Structure 1
Amino acid sequence: MRIFCLLFLFVATIMLNSCRQQSPETKTASIDDEKDTLTIAAEDVLTSDILTKEEQAKLKPIDVLERLKKGNLDFTKDNLTIRNTTERVRKSSLGQYPKAVILSCLDSRVPVEDIFHSGIGNLFVARVAGNIVNDDILGSLEYACKVSGAKLVLVLGHEYCGAIKSAIDGVKLGNITTLLDKIRPAVSATKTSFSGAAVSSNPDFVAAVCDENVRLAITKLRAGSPILKEMEEKGAIMIVGGVYDMNSGKVEIFK
């Protein structure tokens, strides 16, 4: 047990050393081998950035987008902070006023909150294989924006997506078939302009279909939800797309 604790403390210390790019003189994290305890500097603990309703209302969509970009940069550079989860749970228990809503793929390799250096109460996250759009997703995004005040909708695809590959291969299996049917228009559209091998074993083609699938999802959001379309036209929200790079952790944002 002691060996496990020491290993945990060693890993935690490495993580802390990458936080906020502080100089060694300002770091006060320390390990007490006698008590198997870890001391963390107060400035390395994010006590809270949970918004109130009034603070959320003052946000502009472009500011939220820049916050996500900054959070993603922190993620790629390991400039992360320790979060006081217990405090955040308490502060968000009676209400939620997230900045944005992310429509993400189901993939376990895409930890949405971590990617944007966000925590409890910061983001709505809707997850479904292939980040496809259906009536339930539309209703969820409308709730996030129109009812709960989120300022940004981000459709997030990712590299090496299994749903994309399955759609390319024409997989038919139970209810997965109808889900993949919503991705196949992106496959067909990509084939018309792609010059290489249009197969799932070609990573360039898979990436191109992924990008197109995100763009078509955005189009479906605007066409399928007059509420979101009107909010976007009035500047109350932004609707953007992005693709997560599995190797670097970077999210490439596009409209």
Structure 2
Amino acid sequence: MRRLIISLGVTFLLFSCKNNLEDPLTIVTNDEIISNKIITKEDQEKLTPDQVIQDLIEGNKDFVDDKLTIRNNSERVREASLGQYPEAVVLSCLDSRVPVEDVFHKGIGDIFVTRVAGNIVNDDILGSLEYACKVSGSKVVLVLGHEHCGAIKSSIKGVELGHITHLLDKIKPAVLEAKETFKGEQSAKNPEFVDAVCKYNVELSIKEIRERSPILRDMEEKGEIKIIGGIYDMKEGKVEFL
């Protein structure tokens, strides 16, 4: 009996080893880890808004194509501790399904990210965007909306709940604008209508930024920055730049 048990154990071990060999671990060499270079002040100053936009487009393509990037985050943390010069600032929704840095294939020190449900604009958001561009030198402001946005749906439904009510009020102008142009069922149950409101809401936030921030408006007029919008596709991971 003991011999049978030992024999079965050896057979199981050999079977396990065989399976492991058929599905080997991925070995990463040092030359496959991307350069730990953090954006410097000199690097940032040389960038134009158009170059930054193109970099974001290419980074998103890498994300969609599932191109794995391996970074030495421990080193990047130490390098970035000396200062930060991100190339862009992204105003994104709170939604946990939109991992902004990953979406643009970026790491520590590459971009600023500010989040709020519905990617709406308020005084604190404007102050953050102004800090990113005027103080820290970012060249692009990107307002990033996304499909299936809960804040958009709630605003369409007219949800009222605590401080959420005040937040959703900021999306209502986009809902009203969509209702004037959209042909079809105008409800939160219709994904196409939700998408239409989402686009108008991104455009509304861009308009708010330009109207309410003389600092950013002046920088854009001088060509120092660009203020743009985008919509994130939840199924494909692709950003449609507006």
1:80 CA displacement: 2.3
Q: Distance in 1 between matches of 2:190 and 2:126?
A: 32
> Is 1:156–2:156 an aligned residue pair?
no
Cα offsets for 1:110-162 (capped at 9, x unmatched): 00000000010001000000000000000000000000000000000000000
1:42 CA displacement: 2.2
Aligned residues: 222
Instruction: Map 1:209-228 to 2 at 5 A.
Output: 209-228=197-216
**Which stretch shows the higher mean deviation, 213-222 or 44-53?**
44-53
Cα offsets for 1:149-180 (capped at 9, x unmatched): 00000000000000000000000000000000
Cα offsets for 1:207-238 (capped at 9, x unmatched): 00000000010000000000000000000001
In structure 1, the residue matched to 2:131 is: 143
In structure 2, the residue matched to 1:5 is: none
Letter in 1 for 2:89: V
> Is 1:128–2:116 an aligned residue pair?
yes
In structure 2, the residue matched to 1:47 is: 35
**SS of equivalent residue, structure 1 residue 192:** helix
> Is 1:241–2:229 an aligned residue pair?
yes
> Is 1:82–2:64 an aligned residue pair?
no
In structure 1, the residue matched to 2:5 is: none
Q: Distance in 2 between matches of 1:186 and 1:220?
A: 12
Q: Is the 8 A contact 1:80 1:117 kept in 2?
A: no
Among residues 93, 96, 100, which one is paired with 1:105 in the alignment?
93
Q: Which runs of 4+ in 1 moved over 3 A?
A: none
1:48 CA displacement: 1.8
Letter in 2 for 1:62: D
TM-score normalised by structure 2 residue count: 0.89
Higher Cα Rg, which structure: 2
In structure 2, the residue matched to 1:205 is: 193
Structure ranking higher in helix proportion:
2
- Percent of aligned pairs with the same residue? 62
Q: Distance in 2 between matches of 1:116 and 1:130?
A: 19
> Is 1:62–2:50 an aligned residue pair?
yes
In structure 2, the residue matched to 1:25 is: none
Letter in 2 for 1:195: K
In structure 2, the residue matched to 1:6 is: none
Q: Is the 8 A contact 1:218 1:241 kept in 2?
A: yes
**SS of equivalent residue, structure 1 residue 46:** coil
> Is 1:167–2:155 an aligned residue pair?
yes
1:50 CA displacement: 1.3
TM-score normalised by structure 1 residue count: 0.85
In structure 1, the residue matched to 2:173 is: 185
1:59 CA displacement: 0.5
**SS of equivalent residue, structure 2 residue 181:** coil
Q: Distance in 2 between matches of 1:146 and 1:114?
A: 25
Return 5+ residue gaps in structure 2 as ranges.
Answer: 1-19
Q: Is the 8 A contact 1:154 1:239 kept in 2?
A: yes
Q: Distance in 2 between matches of 1:216 and 1:241?
A: 10
Q: Distance in 1 between matches of 2:27 and 2:191?
A: 45
> Is 1:94–2:82 an aligned residue pair?
yes
Return 5+ residue gaps in structure 1 as ranges.
Answer: 1-9, 15-29, 32-37
Letter in 1 for 2:189: S
**SS of equivalent residue, structure 1 residue 172:** coil
Q: Is the 8 A contact 1:47 1:87 kept in 2?
A: no
Letter in 1 for 2:57: K
